[in-house]
Amino acid sequence: MKMTEKGLFGFRGGKDSCLALNQILKNGQFKVVVLLTTLTEAYQRIRLSH
């Protein structure tokens, strides 16, 4: 039985985040249980830099 580690993924909503998440999910080594996205308080939009 293959052991899968649980993990958190910092998701920014762009194509790079989508591609990285896709690779992680395809690999099967990690089970993403949380997508973390930061929002700007004033606009309730995804923050582009951390």
Partners of 46 in beta bridges: 39
Which three-class secondary structure state does DSSP give residue 39? strand
Tell me the CA distances in angstroms from 10 to 3, 35, 44, 46, 49, one per residue in order. Answer: 22, 6, 17, 11, 11
The pLDDT assigned to 7 comes to 93
Beta strand 5-10 pairing with 30-36? parallel
pLDDT per residue as tens digits for the range 29-43: 899 999 988 877 777
- Domains of the chain, residue spans: 1-50
Which of 35, 41, 39, 42 has the alpha carbon at shortest distance from 11? 35
The pLDDT assigned to 13 comes to 79
The pLDDT assigned to 50 comes to 47
Q: Which residues of the chain have pLDDT under 50?
A: 50
The pLDDT assigned to 49 comes to 55
